Chain A
Amino acid sequence: MERDDLIEYSLHAHHDEDKGKVIRKKIYFVTILLTAITVLEVFLGAVIKQDASIWPLVKWTFVVLTLLKAGYIVIVFMHLGDERPWLRYVILVPYFIFILYLIFIALWEAVYIKGVLSYFS
């Protein structure tokens, strides 16, 4: 039975060869970027030791670079950048609210527990 109430949204994403070339160019650019970031991370991790005074800066660099990588994967590879803004918000906003809360509460608690443990040991 043919249904007439289905809208094939995927047809909107179809494109021709010329547009494909532009899209592929972007994909290759992101590939090179992600690889370069990974190489940089490994280089920093191998060269700078964890007891170096500069380490906290390196650590935060890792976090920023990771979020950058994640952003490119989600927005370009997963095409979230091409979706409706409200779909983006529905996916990202609840996630960030919850995960930031979780990180905050877990690390805060862990530091406190460590204090208790070292007091009694």
Chain B
Amino acid sequence: MGGHSVQLDQKALWGGKESPFQVSYGKMMMWFFLVSDALTFGGLLVAYGFTRHDCLEAWPIGEETFNSLPFLGHGYPLLYVALMTFILIVSSVTMVLAVEAGHRMDKKGVIKWMIATIIGGFFFVGSQAWEWYHFIHGSEFGKVELSDGSVAIVKGHFGEIENFTVTVAGSHHKKGAVIKEDLMHTFQHAAAAGHIENGIITLHDGSKAKINKAEDHDLTLIIKKSGSRYKSDKEHRMITGKQAHDLYYGALYSGESNRVIYGANLKQNEYGPQQYAQFFFFITGFHGFHVFSGVVINIIICLGVVAGTYHKRGHYEMVEKTGLYWHFVDLVWVFVFTFFYLI
């Protein structure tokens, strides 16, 4: 090159050695990965919002769909998800405490808090498995299509089924036999398939049996889709008392198939529009997969801490980087919790 070049002060030049952000390559790339992952989750939640906005049917309400607790049954709106949120927040806190211990080069502290984080992560994944199980199996009442074509979800306490007394013998059961096993499962399958007529259930072997069942309590129908008679508007959507009982069992014991749907899968859905179940499985599933991989990464890094790899290095930046990922998982859950369960 001809001419003369201007000598610049070395302080004004970036020589390529230092990071302009004063962070290591690994940490910066972790942040960039998290931005791209956040866009993926953002895209999923926006797609959920899109579907919800253009859906003509009534969208399920979080506190009506998720109102169960393990061992305690129904009637606890959102408490379980709140508990899951709390577990994840606490495991995020233990992670940040592990990072803080790392900044003091306190190896024992890092191990202690990372193990606590891993346990929290397992609790969360387990809770999600329970919730999926519950979502797939559905409520005791199911979603019912009433005689006028309207569709309702049902609340109340389901009276226990005591037994089936065989009235007409089939290939397996004799007349007068009392069946006491697998009652709820058999009952729900028969109701969905239309094998119950006027309180008489037709079993797999062709025998017919009388259903002996305790009374339901506080049975309430909430109309979700209007029919020719029952409407889903605010004033009329709740049906209670004897009318609710008659309408519900009128549908259940009609002998017609698909009048009642229990639980949700990719083809049918008790809780509302089909897309709702699809989004539930995809968003919570994708998040659950992140939690699971986070737990695995935490375990690997924790083993590295125990082996002393990072202590020898002079800093615990690896713990900080997995910490970033773990906090991100918590961050996503905060949004899923609001937009999927609360609103």
Contacts and interface: CB of A to CB of B under 8 A. Distances in A.
Interface of A: 5, 7-17, 20, 23-24, 27-28, 30-31, 34-35, 38-39, 41-42, 45-46, 50-51, 59, 62-63, 65-66, 69-70, 73-74, 76-79, 83-84, 86-87, 90-91, 94-95, 98-99, 102-103, 106-107, 109-111, 113-114, 117-118, 121
A7 B35 contact: no
B23 to A, nearest CB: 6
Given A77-B330, A78-B324, A110-B53, 18 more contacts: A7-B18, A9-B24, A11-B315, A20-B103, A27-B96, A35-B89, A38-B337, A45-B63, A46-B63, A62-B342, A63-B338, A73-B327, A77-B96, A95-B35, A95-B39, A110-B52, A114-B53, A114-B56
B78 interface: yes
Interface of B: 17-24, 27-28, 31-32, 35, 38-39, 42-43, 46-47, 49-56, 61-63, 77-79, 81-82, 85-86, 89-90, 92-93, 95-97, 99-100, 103-105, 234, 314-317, 320, 323-324, 327-328, 330-331, 334-335, 337-338, 341-343
A114 B99 CA distance: 48
A11 B23 CA distance: 10
A109 B334 contact: no
A36 B324 CA distance: 23
A35 to B, nearest CB: 6
Contact of A90 (B21, B55, B82, B323): B21
